[in-house]
Structure 1
Amino acid sequence: MTRFTISRRAALALLAATAACAAAPALAQSDFPTKPVNIFTPFPPGSGPDALLRAITDKLSTLWKQPVLVQNRPGAGGFVVFEATRRQPADGYTLVQLDSEQLVALPLLYKSRNFQTLQVYDPVASLYNTPFIVTVPVNSPWKNVGDLVSAAKAQPGKVNYGSWGIGSPGHLGGEQLELGSGIEMQHIPFKDSGQMFTALAGNEIAWALGTIPSSQGVYKAGKVRYLGVASPKRIPQMPDLPTVAEAGGPKDFAQSSFVVLAAPHGIAPALRSKIAQDVAKVMQDADIKARMDTFAFEYINWSPDEIARQARGKGQMYGKLIERKNITLD
């Protein structure tokens, strides 16, 4: 048998080399980023999510001392941005802004595509939650959500509401109000929220769910009114606006959408943690807080595991609503 021996000096050199290899990923992550970072978004330029994302990327650029660029890829409910990013390296230099509906509703609406967002992307950092508000034309006879529900009960299938597309939060929120109130209404989908609110202001539809950023134009112009916020509690931006439950709607009715940053699947835990910590630091900036307050966005500080848990819960609710009416985009 041949006996292999190694000198003390060689052994120490081998140990040093091994330690250096083990430390290399950690060093690379602590140095991140060393080149520009691209954050892709399915939201169009000028939208509320896009405007806030640009403010966030400005702060990240300063913190990271590297350009952080917003890449708008709207269309196909989110699949345009998926195709642009799903095959990118999981190295942190490609991030994606996604809302809860793109995380869990799209796989239910496009079953034939066999696409599971949370299997293709890893949650990285939470950003904010945005509540929706029940909105009616300014001359609507309804004074509260209870009036809306009563009208729908009196005329099954006659009261209509609009949304910015089949399977959108506005549509699924309407389905949730139907289920919670025992009513039946007619859904009218539009191309986008701008078109929807133009129709609402013109009395072409009876009501719609919207956010403050999407509805503030027609609201400030005095063309629409708010009946209630679809949230468990009132929002500080409008403390006199009741919740849907307070306004005569279902007691457990709530509809909101949360927005996060994700990365192509496989990002290293240490790198994901660094990005999350830096994003959380930026979200505490006074300018960002002021911008979020304007939009009625509520900062959420969730871990990646909590993001996944919240998404699964919302997915279960959406699954019931989608199956109930066999809603599909296939």
Structure 2
Amino acid sequence: MSFSLTRRRLLQSAAGAVPALCVPDLLLAQSPYPNKPIMIKVAFPAGGPADASIRAAAVVMQKNLGQSVLADNLPGASGSICTMNVLRSPSDGYTLLGTTGIDFLVAPLSVRSARYQPESFKLLGLTGMSDFVLVSNPNHAFRNVDELIAYARKQGNAKLSIAHWGPGSAPHLVGADFQARTGLEFLEIPYKGAAPVSNDIAGAQVDLTFMPMGGPTLGMIKTGRFKPIGIASKQRNPLLPGVPALSESKALPGFEHSQWAAVLAPPNAPEAVVTRLNEAMNAWIRSPENRLRVETNLQRTLEPMTPAQTDAFIKSEYAKFTGIARKLKLSPA
């Protein structure tokens, strides 16, 4: 064998070995998602209902994904501080948003710093959903929505007040839709949170409010501190069979409003990543842990959704609540 031929073969062998040096990095880049811990940025304080449901879902997601799923709270400005933080993060599926539906959807219309398009985010799945219930203070004689409407329309009766926790908040929007559909006009009383609203309803300082089912609401109803007028859903809650759905009234056909918590991916997240995370969220929906939370917190039973169904759901909710918000002419503050 000639020297030139041997040298040529040696050079070819060396050249062929170079790509092999890059194989570990190449394999890492092509590893299936996820290959490192995932962080869910939660838009509300630790310990609240939304935070609790998101953290419970994260435990089940972690088992399904085979990677750590961590939660970090970043509250403020109706959740928009957290949302903007996630929006500025890479859209690779390792930084996700945990938030509540109505706040997330409406904040761009009421909070100046909320410079995002809600419908561009990828809804991965819901961690919980609570229907709103219309309650009055215990001193009122009306027992259902038709009696309430009759009372409000009767000349000589004092104008009823309705409490919520600030312009653009979920109870504000649901209450506004209720008034628009019934033709009633209540005295709006904004508070700084749900706790003082609960105290003043129980103390008969204010007449009405919409509260999410779950949390302390059921206890307040069962102890007589809240009088339930109706649930904003298509059907009655089995744990409160004597409380009608508001949609049973001829004045409120299809009146359905709920507060939901969810996990979302930022815009431009890869389709394969969205599909994998949606599978993990559906594992949460099917889990015994979720069924227990539904029963304990009077939440609505959820069904698994495909990415196409989650996309249709968030677009429908966006249209509904921004439609109400625009009628209120909310302005960013």
TM over 0.5: yes
Tell me the amino acid that sits aligned with residue 324 of structure 2.
L
Q: 3-state DSSP class of the match of 1:38?
A: strand
2:55 counterpart of 1:54: yes
Task: Tell me which amino acid in the other structure corresponds to 2:32.
Answer: Q
Compare 164-173 and 100-109 and name the one that shifted more.
100-109
- Checking the alignment, whether the CA contact within 8 Å between 2:86 and 2:95 is kept in structure 1 is yes
Distance 1:241 1:266, change over 3 A: same
- Equivalent position to 1:310, from 288, 313, 318: 313
TM-superposition CA deviations, 1:27-80 (whole Å, max 9, x none):
5234x1x33221122232222222222222222333344332221222211112
Partner of 1:40: 41
- CA pair 217-69 structure 1, distance change in 2 beyond 3 A: farther
Q: Return 106-115 or 174-183, whichever deviates more.
A: 106-115
CA distance in 2, matches of 1:251, 1:29: 48
2: CA distance, partners of 1:150 / 1:74: 41
1:221-300 equivalences in 2 (<5 Å): 221-246=223-248, 249-297=251-299, 298-300=301-303
Instruction: Specify the alignment match of 2:201 in structure 1.
Output: 200
Contact 1:48/1:295 (<8 A) preserved:
no
Q: TM-score, normalised by structure 1?
A: 0.83
After superposition, the C-alpha distances for 1:201-259 in whole angstroms (9 at most, x for unaligned) are 11111011112224234334431121111101112232232111335752232211333
User: Would you say the 8 A contact 1:169–1:255 is kept in 2?
Assistant: no
CA contact (8 A) 1:105 1:167 kept: yes
Evaluate the alpha carbon distance shift between residue 318 and residue 100 of structure 1 in structure 2; reply closer, same or farther with a 3 A threshold: same
RMSD: 3.0
Alignment CA distance shift 1:313-1:195 (3 Å):
same
* 2:322 aligned with 1:319: yes
Contact 2:54 2:127 in 1 (8 A): no
CA deviation profile, 1:231-289 (whole Å, cap 9, x unmatched)? 01112232232111335752232211333211122211111111111221132111221
Per-residue deviation, 1:141: 1.8
Answer whether contact 2:84 2:116 (CA < 8 A) is retained.
no
Local SS of the residue matching 2:273: helix
TM-score by length of 2: 0.83
Unmatched runs of 5 consecutive residues or more in structure 1: 1-8
Match of 2:5 in 1: none
Distance in 2, Cα, partners of 1:112 & 1:290: 37
> 1-side partners of 2:57 and 2:273: how far apart?
19
Higher alpha-carbon Rg: 2
Change (3 A) 1:25 1:232: farther
2:6 matched to which residue of 1?
A: none
Q: CA deviation at 1:113?
A: 5.5
Shift of 1:177: 0.8
Tell me the number of residue pairs that the alignment of Structure 1 and Structure 2 aligns: 314
Q: Which amino acid aligns with 1:41?
A: V
Structure 2: 5+ residue stretches without partners: 1-11
Query: What's the secondary structure of 1:312's corresponding residue?
Result: helix
Distance 1:112 1:281 in 2: 34
